Each structure stands twice: as C-alpha cells, then as structure tokens.
Amino acid sequence: MIDIHNHILPGVDDGAQDSSESIAMLQMAQADGIELIVATPHHFPIVRQDPSSYASRLRDQIAEKSRTKITVRLGQEIAISEDVPRGLLDRKLLSFEQSQYVLIELPFFDYPDWVDGVLAEICRDGFTPIIAHPERNTEVQKDPNIITAIREKGMLTQINAGSLLGHFGDAANETAIKLLETESVDVIASDAHSAHGFRLPVLSDALELAGRITGFSQVERMVSETPRAIIEGRSLREDVGTKSDSSAV
Ligand SMILES: [Fe+2]
C-alpha cells in the first residue's frame, strides 16, 4: 500500500514531535503493509523558505535510522488560500515530488465563495489538486455534491482511513461513506500525526469496511494503483473516470 497523506517528518508541524516518533511511525506503517509514504507537512512558516531541501534532509534522517524498507517521498498539505497559486508557481509550496499533483486542504467550517476560483486557477496553471479529507468539511457534510462537482472538473479526492472508523465524528463518518457510495473517492490515506492515539499511520483497519461499501478491487485502487500513478506523475483522467480536462474548470 501507499500512503500519500502523512505528517511523519519530525518537528515541522503538529505531526511527529521528534525523530524517535517519526521512526516509530515508519515502523508501524511497515507493519501495516505500507511500502511507500508521501510526507505531507502543513506549509507552516518553518518549511516555507526552502521547503524542498529542508524536508529532504529530515526525510533522509528518519529513513536511515528507522531500518524499514519504506520509501519516503515528499509533498505538502496546503491549506487553500488566495496565495496558493502564486506559491505553487514560485515553488515555495510543494507539489508531490514536483509533479502536477498538489494536496489541498479546504477550510473545516466553511466553503468560501473564492474557493472554486482558486481551485480553477491552480488547475489552469497545470496542477491537479487532490482535495484532502473533504468529509471533514462541514459544508461538504451538508452537501456532498460539492465534491461531485470538484471531481467533474478533473480534481481528485482523498478521504481519511480514520473517518471511516468514526475517529472524526459521525458527520465525517457518514460523509466518507456517502462519498464512497457515490464513487467520489480516489484515494484513502492515513493523515497520520502520531505513533500514539488514533491518528496512526495505519490503513488496513479501514479497508475491510470500505471494501464492503465500494468493492475490494476499488479499494485496492485507492490505496495502491491510484497513489502510485500520483507519485509517478501520471495522468489519472482515464484511470479514475474524471470527466473533463482542467481547461474546462
Ligand atoms: Fe493532514
């Protein structure tokens, strides 16, 4: 399995506190059957100056010490704002391994009018947003069709394994299930923040449940084939059934 959303780098955000926690998380992920992780720290100021080399250094430190066979690649979880298109073009914000794919987080309690315009601009600039855990947004919880519309414009969606297990409340749980039922999910990822508590780098617990909702071959795509295409920068439009190209956004 491949986990494309994970706060495993030490001391850069609200994820792993230090390198020993990062290493524990890597070992836990390997035990769960995860072979590759994309580290996606929040774009806090600490990584803003030279995010790529800073994150690479941390990644190499923990990968060497953990003695796991997990490959760690780099991305970033980018909270949407009107500054994001410029930041991506200037390479101050990181796409996945400098590919076209960018992990974008919506606000949790709102869906402001400007969001669709900013997403459209990101697409026009040649990037493909992957919307992180849309099931946690209160407006999406009221109207999951927001996500259907986003996918029809060629963007991708990623739900959290923990949402399927009820770790983020009933509304997120019900919305994650609804998105699976309506074939509106491209990827399931851990969004792990710690080696303790409930935000663990573990996917397998949720897959049985997801498989019963959407079929096990679909779930396999969500944790393996689609994430692999993303980290290799391959186009997924045909693979995931998106309906239009980004120029239509
Ligand atoms: Fe996250």
- C-alpha 75 – ligand 1 centre gap (Å): 11
CATH number, domain with residue 117: 3.20.20.140
Cβ atoms 157, 134 nearer than 8 A: yes
- C-alpha 241 – ligand 1 centre gap (Å): 25
- C-alpha 234 – ligand 1 centre gap (Å): 23
For strands 71-74 and 77-79, give the pairing: unpaired
Whether the model clears a pTM of 0.95, i.e. scores above it, the answer is no
| Tens digits of residue pLDDT in 60-95 | 878 777 788 899 998 999 999 999 999 999 888 889
- C-alpha 111 – ligand 1 centre gap (Å): 18
Domain that holds residue 158: 2-248
pLDDT for position 241: 39
Buried b vs exposed e over 30-58: b needs ≥16 C-beta within 10 Å? Answer: bebebebbbbbbbbeeebeeebeebbeeb
* Sites in the chain below the pLDDT cut of 70: 44-52, 54, 237-249
pLDDT for position 92: 85
3-state secondary structure of 28: helix
3-state secondary structure of 201: coil
| Tens digits of residue pLDDT in 156-178 | 999 999 999 999 999 999 999 99
Going by C-beta distance under 8 Å and a sequence separation of 6 or more, which residues neighbour residue 57?
none
The token duo for 46 is: 């600490």
- C-alpha 39 – ligand 1 centre gap (Å): 10
Domains identified in the chain, total number: 1
